[in-house]
Amino acid sequence: MAVQSTSERAEFMRSLGRMYGLYTGGFLAFIILLAVMEQAGVSNRILGYLFVFFTLAVYGIIGIAMRTAEVSEYYVAGRRVPAFYNGMATGADWMSAASFVGMAGSLFLFGYDGLAWVLGWTGGFVLVSILVGPYLRKFGAYTVPDFMAFRYGGNFARFLAVIVLVCCSFTYVTAQIFGTGIIASRFLGMQFEIAVFAGLVGILLCAMLGGMRAVTWTQIAQYIVLIVAYLVPIVILSTKRYGIPIPELTYGQAIQEITAREQELVRTGLATLCTAANCGATTLKPHIQPFMNYTPLNFFGIIFCMMVGTASLPHILMRYFTTPSVREARVSVGWSLLFIFLLYFSAPAYAAFSKLEVYTNIIGRDITQLRPWLFTWGELGLIKVCGKDAINLDAAIAACKAIAGHPGVLRFQDFNINTDVIVLSTPEIAGLPYVISGLVAAGGLAAALSTADGLLLAIANALSHDIYYNMIQPLRSSRQWLIGLLIAVAVVALIFFLGAAPGPFGLEWRWWSLMGLGALVAVVAPLMRNATEIGRRLIMARALLLLVAVASAALASTRPSDILAMVGWAFSLAMAGNFPAIVLGIWWKRATTSGAIWGILAGWGICLFYLVTTRYFPQMGINYFGMTSLLNPETGQPLVDIAKIMADPQWMNQWPAVAANPLANRVGWFDLNNINCGLLGMPLGFLVMIVVSLMGKEPPKEMQALVDEIRKPRGRTVLQEKTT
Amino acid sequence: MQNSSDDVHWKRTTRLMLVHLFIWFFFGYIVHMFVNYLNQFTIPILKFPLGFYMAAQGSLIVFVVMLFVFAWQQDRIDRQHGVAEDD
């Protein structure tokens, strides 16, 4: 690692400023150019393609320009990313398709209760900064499992940490690639499955070639695109409505209007209010009233799990390994949250403006006078009127006529909107030109790609650095072969059992996967043979990255449901598995190896058990583990009638339960939503870790000295001290 | 290896951590427990109900400011005990 002098660093900052300034200017010029082209009559489809392909090309070029063959560049970008820019990169790393597209939608649907996600996904950075991040930076690890291995002396702790990491990152990355597929298919008219793999190419271009270095500089570029794309439509809308271009200030007025309109709807009989006696999907829940969608336990549970999960997610923590110093790591967390805050405090404005539009211009209108922007989304099956897709005006009228006693005026319960539409449709609601819609699509894509990049890198680094370099390579060569063979057999078996679904050209997916794997081995093996020691490690990292990416794209193309829930699970799993071991490892010298191992096993184990049981084997949970139905937060009644469903063999004998199973995700202990499984896991993890640690012998003096070193920013990283 | 200055450094670091953890807990949870009470008040001019505003913006602003203040305070402690990195 090159140590930079102060003047060198200042020069570096200046040149970065020039580069990204130029880039931002170029991006704005590009938008204006496309706006002019639109006026000149270029079709929407072509504008959409130009947007997506130009931004992808830029990310690809940055990725290629920043390719590297140096280990420290590949894993931690040479540790010279300034705090400000690392903050931007973290922002892009953090904000995913769920934040960009999904968050405003949840706020629209849940009102106040949706703010649990906003709070949870911001407050966690406080924990990162004061408890974890800077200390890991001082430690000087390449990956989070690196820290676990050194602190809890041994490869077993490393191995557990890798499993936790792969498990939560893989859940998360699948949701991102899924989001990429949705955006690409919606705006480019591609087939969903093809769009998933097209998005994958964009991701791989940069993560594969240059590792952390390329990902960092690309993520900064992606942050600029995504924040411009998120703010432009809403700023214009706010200016049009209230004459002030700061939507975050003006939407208070919109909320007041929403509340007034809600009361009017109820008074005129256009909507039924959600009450303790009757509350469900067709009743109106006032926007600002709390705890109608989540019980207080689940509301605060989500906040807590998302916050603690933030401080445990490896792909976020490893971003702070790239700063030049511990001091900059701390400042960098501040910048990260500032950049994230810009998007998160605008999301409720999106929700409020959309809701006002729906409540004033859709509900209460004569069906014959519905606004035309509805139908572009109705065609895609995302907006329903009177229970049918609102393809066009005639279809909507016909659907409502079919309902007995329909007044001819659209009522609250007649209208259904998919929450993903909220952000994507705002440009149309505001009557803005198509170029803005294209911009929003490019922004959503940037959000999904940047997060997927970071996640894939975290997984691949853990596999190559921790598993291959630190665990397999040191073994004698005969045992290396044995372990290699075992892994290969396991992978092939897994593919064989899971990949039975029919794939393209009449061939099942498992054959496609095996052929791809064979091709990969054929390319990698000769390269490995001729490469140097360091070269081998990087080739291994890239090959594994490719493998993981393709696997998650394959999973995403099967459309596992609900993105928000999947992301929530990833946070809870990370929290239960990592948080106690990392925090106690830094803050409590007495924490021992066996304490950490048992703590991880118990905490992470219970979280995983709760998740898997409630999602996939709810019958088992009810029969053997005393689980009961979750309750409706407003009425306090059970969500499902368990006795009735248990009597129905269709649902009872379904192993594992599919998403449509009425029991899936609706049973549990203490009325606890399975997103919050970390709430069971983390306390148990802490408890077990402390008890087992106290039962064993105090850790050796050298280990305690190492912890002292982590606590002092001055000096070289702990890993450097140990290796020289 | 461990001397008394380092001990004091760690004590002050721990105290700073606890103070910030408390502020974090207050604005992350306690404030929002009183949302119904706070919603009775409306912020003048902006017209937000106070309880809603705290969850949508208020707490977030506190978190951002807090992080920069923390970075500054911790750095000051590190410098006073001679364990800060060279500039």
Q: Output B72 or A187, whichever has higher pLDDT.
A: B72
pLDDT at A499: 62
Longest CA pairwise span in chain A (Å): 83
Task: Note whether A300 contacts B: Cβ–Cβ < 8 A.
Answer: yes
Q: What pLDDT, in 10s, does the model give residues A538-595?
A: 777 777 777 777 777 777 766 655 677 778 888 999 999 999 999 999 999 999 999 9
Are A208 and A397 in contact by the 8 Å Cβ rule? The answer is no
pLDDT at residue A130 greater than cutoff 80: yes
Q: Would you give the DSSP letter of residue A77?
A: G
Token digits for A327? 């001091």
For residue A18, give every residue at least 6 positions away whose Cβ sits within 8 Å of its Cβ, in sequence order, or none.
none
A436: phi then psi, degrees, rounded to nearest 5: -70, -40
Q: Determine phi and psi for B32, rounding to 5 degrees.
A: -75, -15
Q: What is the pLDDT of residues A675-701, one digit of tens each?
A: 889 999 999 999 999 999 999 999 999
Q: Identity (one letter) of the amino acid at A504?
A: P
Q: What is chain A's mean pLDDT, rounded?
A: 85
Residue A409, φ and ψ in degrees, nearest 5: -110, 140
Query: B3: nearest CA in chain A?
Result: A708
Residue B44: pLDDT band by 50, 70, 90 thresholds? Answer: confident
Cα torsion A260, A261, A263, A265 to 10°: value is 170
- pLDDT, tens only, A258-304: 999 999 998 988 888 888 878 877 888 889 889 888 899 999 999 99
Burial label for A695, CB within 10 Å (0-12, 13-18, 19+), is exposed
Residue of A648 and B1 predicted with greater confidence: A648
Of B10, B39, B63, the CB nearest to A123: B63
Residue A219 CA to residue A94 CA, distance in Å, equals 10
Are A255 and B67 inside 8 Å of each other by CB? no
- A108-123 pLDDT tens trace: 989 999 999 999 999 9
Residue A471 and residue A262: Cα distance in Å, rounded? 61
Least confident of A160-169, A412-421, B33-42: A412-421
Question: Under a CB-based contact definition with an 8 Å cutoff, are residues A274 and A263 in contact?
Answer: no
Stretch (H or E) spanning A214: helix A192-242
Tell me the pLDDT tens digit for each residue of B16-34: 999 999 999 999 999 999 9
Nearest to A290 among B29, B35, B78 (CB): B35
> First and final CA of chain B: distance in angstroms?
24
Q: Give the pLDDT mean for A295-319.
A: 93
Q: What is the mean pLDDT of residues A62-89?
A: 85
Is the pLDDT at A93 greater than 70? The verdict is: yes
Interacting residues of A704 by C-beta distance below 8 A, sequence separation 6+: A589
Highest mean pLDDT of the ranges A536-550, A590-604, A615-629: A590-604
ipTM field: 0.95
pLDDT in tens, A169-196: 888 887 787 777 777 777 777 777 777 7
What's the pLDDT at A388? 85
pLDDT (tens digit, 9 = 90+) per residue, A39-57?
Answer: 998 888 888 888 888 888 8
A330–chain B Cβ distance below 8 A for any pair: yes
Positive or negative CA dihedral for A85, A86, A89, A94? negative
Kindly list the residues from chain B whose CB atom is less than 8 angstroms away from the CB atom of residue A303.
28-29, 32
Query: Cβ contacts (< 8 Å) between A325 and chain B: which residues?
Result: 85
The answer to whether the beta carbons of residues A543 and A520 sit under 8 Å apart is: yes
Q: Do A253 and B64 touch (CB under 8 A)?
A: no
With contact defined as beta carbons under 8 Å apart, do A176 and A96 qualify? yes
Please report, rounded to a whole number, the percentage of residues in chain A having pLDDT higher than 70. 94
Would you say residue A648 has pLDDT above 90? Answer: no
CA–CA separation, A178 and A511 (whole Å) = 23
Angle between helices A618-625 and A593-616 (to 10 degrees): 110
Tell me the mean pLDDT in the region A707-717: 86
User: What's residue A686's pLDDT?
Assistant: 96
CA A273 vs CA A38, A64, A282, A655: distances in Å: 45, 56, 9, 38
Tokens coding A90: 């973290």
**Residue A415 above 70 pLDDT?**
yes
Closest CA to B55 of A298, A107, A340, A97: A107
Among A584, A593, A596, which residue's Cα sits nearest to residue A700?
A593
d(CA A108, CA A97): 17
Structure letter (DSSP) for residue A468: I
For the CA atoms of A621, A627, A630, A636, the dihedral, rounded to the nearest 10 degrees, stands at: 160
CA dihedral B6, B10, B13, B14 (to 10 degrees): -170
Does pLDDT of B1 surpass 60? Answer: no
User: Alpha helix locations (H) across A111-191?
Assistant: 115-127, 133-139, 144-151, 155-188
pLDDT at A500: 62
Chain CA centroid to CA A294, Å: 21
pLDDT score at B14: 94
Reported confidence tier of residue A516, pLDDT bands at 50, 70, 90: confident
The three-state secondary structure class of A300 is helix
Strand order in the sheet with A388-389: A388-389, A383-385, A415-417
Which segment of A68-72, A414-418, A563-567, B1-5 scores lowest on mean pLDDT?
A: B1-5
Report the alpha-carbon angle A677-A679-A682, nearest 5.
Answer: 105
Residue A677 has phi, psi (to 5 degrees) of: -65, -20
- Nearest-Cα distance to chain B for A326, in Å, is 8
Transcribe B31-53 into DSSP letters.
Answer: HHHTHHHHTTSB-TTT--BHHHH
Summarize pLDDT for A449-492 with one digit per residue, the tens. 888 888 888 888 888 888 878 887 777 677 767 777 777 777 77
* Residue A337 sits at the chain B interface (C-beta within 8 Å): yes
Which residues of chain B neighbour A126 with C-beta distances below 8 Å?
20, 24, 63, 66-67, 70
Task: Please indicate whether, in this complex, the C-beta atoms of B56 and A326 are within 8 angstroms of each other.
Answer: no
Using only the alpha carbons of chain A, give its radius of gyration.
Answer: 26
pLDDT score of A724: 47
Contacting residues of A for B48, CB less than 8 Å apart: 252, 255
For residue A198, the model assigns a pLDDT of: 73
Residues of A (655-714) whose Cβ lies below 8 Å from B:
705, 708, 711-714
What tokens does A486 get? 């075992």
A524 pLDDT band (50/70/90 cuts)? Answer: confident
Read off the pTM.
Answer: 0.90
CB contact under 8 A, B71 and A327: yes
- What is the Rg, in whole angstroms, of the alpha carbon atoms belonging to chain B? 18
Q: What percent of chain A has pLDDT over 90?
A: 29
Which residue, A97, A98, A81, is CA-closest to A89? A81
| Secondary structure of A388-417 as H, E, C letters | EECCCHHHHHHHHHCCCCCCCECCHHHEEE
CA gap A397, A395 in Å, rounded: 6
Burial A119-139 (b: 16+ CB within 10 A, else e): bbbbbbbbbbbbbbbbbbbbb
Run of H or E residues at A511: helix A509-530
Mean pLDDT of A205-231: 85
Report pLDDT for A2.
45
The confidence score (pLDDT) of residue A722 equals: 59
Distance CA A610, CA A628 (A): 13
